[in-house]
Copies of this chain bind each other. A is one copy, B any other.
Amino acid sequence: MDYDVTAAARVSTIGADSLTSKLPTTGLINYLMRDRHGSPFEHSSMTFYVEAPIFVAREWFRHRAGWSYNEESGRYKALEPTFYVPAGDRNLIQEGKPGAYEFRQGSDAHFARMAANMLYSYNEAYEAYEDMLKAGIAREVARMVLPVGIYTSFYATCNARSLMHFLALRTKDEASAFPSFPQREIEMAAEQMEKHFAAAMPLTHAAFQKHGRVAP
């Protein structure tokens, strides 16, 4: 995969000789990343199967360039009763202004109140959904009551460049040259993808990290 980057990059300067298998070099990949020559990173394709709540999928699908999607359909199948509830270490309190929010841990009472509201509300919504399905009402109509906290599943295909754009926006990392304020839940998904990316394309990932996590 790192090899695809350098082969494509080398065609600029050596044409057909780029086809002969010279190993990818850290130097060339760092140069491309630093000077933001992005196109050589587009020849490496990756497909992920993702299970995530709808509110995460909604943010994800805003990424258009270099992304392809196929998602579970609430028109074609009944959705399973799997819902997202934040874990105990999730920051629940939001302070500050748009673009500069600060988040901090809530109290136990905050967590309890959130959990109670979610469990109750998810349950009521799914019962209403099932009742409508049982009565023969179309899935595409019945689903309107389902919350954005319900899980959906999808295939997402991207290339190394579009993945780095995603990671730059959807993670918050000390190494970042530009600030971003992703919702924690999509960041959790991004962190898992980044592990796969780092394993598949170690030189590219290292260069991304080194040069401020700015997509080239």
Contact = CB atoms under 8 A, between A and B. Distances in A.
Nearest to A75: B183
Interface of A is mostly: mixed
Contact of A43 (B47, B117, B128): B47
A49 B18 CA distance: 10
Contacts of A45: 45, 157, 159
Contacts of A114: 132, 135, 137, 141-142
A72 B15 contact: yes
Contacts of A94: 138-140
A169 B152 CA distance: 23
A166 interface: no
A201 interface: no
A99 B32 CA distance: 9
Contact of A15 (B36, B42, B125, B153): B153
A8 to B, nearest CB: 4
Q: Residue among A45, A77, A147 with the most chain B CB within 10 A?
A: A147
A39 B103 CA distance: 25
Q: Which 10 A-B pairs have the closest CB atoms?
A: A45-B45, A94-B138, A42-B68, A144-B149, A64-B64, A121-B128, A117-B128, A121-B145, A8-B70, A12-B73
